[in-house]
Structure 1
Amino acid sequence: MVEAVGDRKWAFLNIDYTVDFVDAQGALTCGEPGIALHDAMAEVTEKTIENGVFTVFGIDLHLKDDQYHPETKLFPPHNIKGTSGRDLYGKLEAIYQENRDKENVYYMDKTRYSAFAGTDLELKLRERGIDTVLIAGVCTNICVLHTAIDAYNRGINIVIAEDLVASFNPQGHDYALTHLKNTLNATIVK
């Protein structure tokens, strides 16, 4: 995976790998495709942190009964502030808690599909001289794709870890990977 990045300065973006999006009982779960990523996601996240790579947890945040958020009409309530559904799934929560005070670990709330929309992510990347993002998480065709589109529009190189992204929609997942490669010039790696 790192070979695909080459000598570029890169960050690891861990998008929405939370209980609500991954656990079989999650409010808006990917189910088995998301669960299947767990061991690899934990391993890669730990290694990036250990190796000093800027590791971002871009996590969806919603307020209970927010009638003004556009997703309210599209999806059931999920990743509600103060609920366990926002916890990182499986070992990821412990990995984050053990490393949360490290300079290269950054947890950020996001309220839209893209981790760039309404956040300081671009600023955090630019101040570190980062020109490439390795994106992993869920859902491939929603938050991962929209984050990648915004990275592309900001001139940031995109690498997608194919075995670290999943969706509840297999056709959407496949379309997103094709779009990422053919339209956004993303490097797709395993």
Structure 2
Amino acid sequence: MKKALLVVDYTVDFVAIDGALTCGEPGIALENHIVQLTKDFLAQQQPVFVINDLHEKDDPYHPENALFPAHNIRGTFGRNLYGKMHDLYSEHSDEIIWMDKTRYSAFAGTDLDIQLRARDIREIHLTGVCTDICILHTAIDAYNLGYKIFIHEGGVASFNPAGHDWALSHFQNTLGATVIVN
């Protein structure tokens, strides 16, 4: 079965200690795991998508603005991929597919479903942040669209430890996803 790796919101704003909406150390700890998974998928000639929040400065209509500090604003350093993932993307920008999303789910405001189906992909592997927000909503949409879902436990994190643990359980027990412990 063809598969794809989705790296969701692994940006400076979500990961760096001084990021605008950071999960901090738990997100930083994912770096080597996400980079290695990305390299593995590229070596297997399996698609890798990096899908990141895109917000406009002072957008009065976006619902997240009432919930969270401004983050991942177009044209800011905070939108860059974090650390080694930024370097890897720079080296492989012709192979790694970048998408901008407009809400929590990687399927929201993107043509991700179309891109996956065009490649005959039915299995997705999720990494990134935050486990209980963007990873969760992406997994729910993937479930509703009929994808086989794999969550890499060593590749997801949140700023909310209880939410992270709850989401890992929810992936398995409610969405039938496979949580890969590594």
Pair in the same fold by TM > 0.5: yes
| 1:25-174 mapped onto 2 (5 Å cutoff) | 25-102=18-95, 105-174=96-165
Residue 94 of structure 2 aligns to a residue whose secondary structure is coil
Opposite residue 111 of structure 2, the aligned amino acid is D
Opposite residue 128 of structure 2, the aligned amino acid is G
Distance (whole Å) between structure 1 residues aligned to residue 127 and residue 48 of structure 2? 11
Determine the structure 2 residue equivalent to 1:5: none
Opposite residue 28 of structure 1, the aligned amino acid is L
Distance (whole Å) between structure 2 residues aligned to residue 158 and residue 42 of structure 1? 20
Question: Structure 2, unaligned stretches of length 5 or more?
Answer: none
- TM-aligned CA deviation for residue 172 of structure 1: 0.2
- TM-aligned CA deviation for residue 50 of structure 1: 2.3
Distance (whole Å) between structure 2 residues aligned to residue 24 and residue 84 of structure 1? 14
Distance (whole Å) between structure 1 residues aligned to residue 5 and residue 35 of structure 2? 12
Q: Deviations over 1:136-184 (max 9, x none)?
A: 0000000000000000000011000001000000000000001110000
Opposite residue 5 of structure 2, the aligned amino acid is F
Opposite residue 117 of structure 1, the aligned amino acid is A
- TM-aligned CA deviation for residue 47 of structure 1: 1.9
Distance (whole Å) between structure 1 residues aligned to residue 109 and residue 35 of structure 2? 27
- TM-aligned CA deviation for residue 117 of structure 1: 1.1
Distance (whole Å) between structure 1 residues aligned to residue 15 and residue 102 of structure 2? 18
Bigger drift between 47-56 and 164-173 goes to: 47-56
Determine the structure 1 residue equivalent to 2:17: 24
Paired positions, count:
181
Question: Structure 1, unaligned stretches of length 5 or more?
Answer: 1-7
Q: Deviations over 1:36-68 (max 9, x none)?
A: 111111111122122211100011100000010
Distance (whole Å) between structure 2 residues aligned to residue 168 and residue 18 of structure 1? 14
Distance (whole Å) between structure 1 residues aligned to residue 46 and residue 155 of structure 2? 17
Distance (whole Å) between structure 2 residues aligned to residue 118 and residue 18 of structure 1? 18
Opposite residue 170 of structure 1, the aligned amino acid is P
Q: What TM-score results when the alignment is normalised by the length of structure 2? A: 0.98
- TM-aligned CA deviation for residue 118 of structure 1: 1.8
Residue 174 of structure 1 aligns to a residue whose secondary structure is helix
Determine the structure 1 residue equivalent to 2:6: 13
